[in-house]
A = this chain, B = another copy of it.
């Protein structure tokens, strides 16, 4: 007995209008459609490693499920996993870390929601670099906060500088959100800058949140965690990218001592807990066997970067600063177009190459930029570059 309703309620919270979808999704859908029609597409748009989850992690996950370890864990996560992560900081960064400060979260997304949830008052602002990961500003919007997007350029390695943080700081600024390595630019924040920004923000009673989810994928150098500079930063990390566990949805956050109980309380209410099979699987993430696999993959990512960076430059894309980490290249395509979104669509249709348009990363000249992800094997990257070359020759010839 369907009821005839006097009115169809269709109102939406105003935040919905301020939150953007991932524009690349439309492009990805079109790519899938072309593939269904038999076209071969080179995927350089996907922010997910092409490698499978390492076998030891797979086996630990299967074993947990077989043994029935699929009940709720504490909201902050399995104590033994928190300890394993603390041990990882000790072994990898030489950092002593109270395991109680490690909060297991449903992905880095869950971590950011918790961090902002405990820190951000309505209408307070979070400062972040533009271009940047789009979800970051949407989390702030979701919580009725404001985003202070500061345009950054290749000149400062696409990272906020202490001078910018100081210049843009306002009374309502609550936190600075940094990502090192950054998505989409792959750049690191220099340690001296990071230290100054931490001092600056904390001196104003504010906070620093550092996204280190690509920290495992830094090439040719070893990055230090922000935690080695201050015990009062919030550091977000994840099993998704370096550890190859994207779909398992597991991350972690290291919080200042003072916030443990509040983050726990919020996690209880928002999530109950992170997925249990994933937590047990991740217990195998730090074993020597897994680490060997992961370091080999890192080398492979580095090889891809070392191929793709000069190859794109050769084609005429401007990549002024060498990315040191993650698996992205953020390329200026203004030599070819003043509309990178239309350009990306055209690339897909005519060259069979999928890339992510700049507009997914903010409002700082997005029309001039594309993000290339090297999350596909070298031979495919080569094929992609070859197709790009052919396409650009035609475009340039016609123009």
Interface residues of A (CB under 8 A from B): 1-3, 5-16, 19-22, 25, 48, 52-53, 58, 61-62, 65-66, 68-73, 106-107, 109-110, 113, 117-122, 134-135, 138-139, 142-144, 195, 198-199, 201-203, 205-207, 228-232, 245-249, 258-259, 261-262, 264-266, 268-278, 281
Contact = CB atoms under 8 A, between A and B. Distances in A.
Given A3-B229, A6-B203, A231-B2, A19 B65 contact: no
17 contacts: A5-B203, A9-B206, A13-B117, A13-B118, A15-B117, A15-B121, A16-B118, A19-B266, A21-B265, A58-B66, A65-B281, A69-B247, A142-B269, A144-B144, A247-B276, A249-B271, A277-B278
B71 A247 contact: yes
B265 A109 contact: no
Contacts of A139: 269-270
A16 B107 contact: no
Given A7-B202, A246-B72, A270 B143 contact: no
B52 A68 contact: yes
B13 A120 contact: yes
Given A5-B232, A232-B8, A277-B247, A16 B262 contact: yes
Contacts of A207: 9
Given A247-B70, A248-B70, A3 B268 contact: no
A5 to B, nearest CB: 5
B266 A248 contact: no
A3 B69 CA distance: 42
A370 to B, nearest CB: 20
Contacts of A61: 65, 277
User: Which residue among A9, A122, A278 has the maximum number of chain B CB atoms within 10 Å of its CB?
Assistant: A9
Given A248-B277, A277-B277, A10 B258 contact: yes
Contacts of A138: 269
Contacts of A48: 71-72
Contact of A6 (B119, B202, B275): B202
B246 A106 contact: no
Contacts of A273: 247, 249
A65 to B, nearest CB: 5
A198 to B, nearest CB: 7
A64 B229 CA distance: 41
A248 B72 CA distance: 8
A119 B113 CA distance: 19
A205 B9 contact: yes
A274 B274 CA distance: 11
Nearest to A69: B247
**9 tightest A-B contacts by CB?**
A247-B276, A138-B269, A21-B265, A70-B247, A275-B275, A6-B203, A249-B275, A52-B68, A144-B144
A199 B3 contact: yes
Contacts of A270: 109, 113, 135, 139, 142
Contact of A109 (B1, B11, B272): B272
Contacts of A58: 65-66, 68, 70
A271 B276 CA distance: 17
Nearest to A207: B9
B230 A247 contact: no
Given A16-B266, A109-B272, 19 more contacts: A2-B231, A3-B230, A6-B202, A8-B232, A9-B205, A10-B258, A12-B119, A13-B118, A16-B117, A19-B269, A20-B265, A70-B245, A70-B246, A110-B271, A135-B269, A247-B275, A247-B277, A277-B277, A277-B278
